[in-house]
């Protein structure tokens, strides 16, 4: 049985190794500076990979978690979204955009002094389901999903 800490350590080590080998140029410096940045999670392409990189169990859909966002976003470059849950003991709140090149957008780690309702703005390359995932201290991983339609993609160029 692997604990979350083991997995996190291992992925950090692996990222460090890859970075020191120069496989991820530019990352070595960032790793040295940022320390705890979980690069593996931000490279992941699916929800399962993200959960693996973060050491969480398989997510379950739940009414207690919500994703707040528009039904239709006119501009995919700035889509206001928020993740919220009413449950206590939240370790992490995640925002994920399924059809982006890398799925994970943001990981929030709120302390007791912060309400578990955190908003930001994300880029969306195309219309896609957007996930809010809450990782709880008791090991449960719950999610909510909402389809957001984008009329103008945010990753053009």
Partner 1 sequence: MADPMRIRAQANGDKTTVRVLMSHEMETGQRKDAAGKLIPAWHIQQVSAALNGKTVLTAQWGPSVAKNPFLQFNLKGAKPGDKVAITWVDNRGERRSDEATVV
Q: Where do contacts with partner 1 occur on this chain (CB under 8 A)? A: 26-27, 29-30, 32-34, 36-38, 41-42, 77-80, 82, 97, 100-102, 104-115, 117-124, 154-157
What is the rounded CA–CA span in Å between residue 12 and residue 18? 10
Nearer to partner 1, 1 or 4 (CB): 4
Closest of 66, 92, 76, 69 to residue 152, by C-alpha? 76
Least separation in angstroms between residue 18's CB and partner 1 is 15
- The whole-angstrom separation of Cα 80 and Cα 123 is 9
User: Considering the complex, what minimum distance in angstroms separates the CB of residue 54 from partner 1?
Assistant: 10
Beta carbon nearer to partner 1, 42 or 49: 42
- Calculated CA dihedral for residues 109, 54, 144, 61, nearest 10 degrees: -130
The distance of closest approach from Cβ of residue 116 to partner 1 in the complex, given in angstroms and rounded to an integer, is 9
* Closest distance of CB 41 from partner 1, Å: 8
Q: Please tell me the distance from the alpha carbon of residue 59 to that of residue 143, in angstroms, as a whole number.
A: 6
């Amino acid at each position: 049985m692997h604990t979350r800490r083991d997995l996190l350590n291992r992925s950090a080590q692996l990222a460090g190794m890859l970075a020191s080998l120069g496989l991820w140029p530019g990352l070595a410096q960032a790793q040295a500076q940022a320390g705890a940045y979980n690069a593996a999670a931000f490279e992941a392409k699916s929800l399962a990979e993200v959960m693996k990189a973060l050491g969480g169990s398989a997510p379950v859909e739940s009414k207690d978690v919500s994703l707040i966002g528009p039904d239709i976003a006119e501009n995919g470059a700035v889509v206001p979204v928020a993740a919220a849950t009413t449950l206590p003991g939240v370790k992490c709140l995640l925002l994920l955009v399924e059809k982006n090149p890398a799925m994970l957008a943001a990981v929030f780690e709120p302390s007791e002094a912060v309400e578990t309702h955190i908003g930001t703005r994300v880029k969306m390359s195309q219309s896609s389901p957007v996930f809010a995932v809450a990782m709880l201290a008791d090991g449960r991983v719950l999610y909510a999903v909402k389809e957001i339609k984008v009329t103008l993609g945010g990753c053009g160029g």
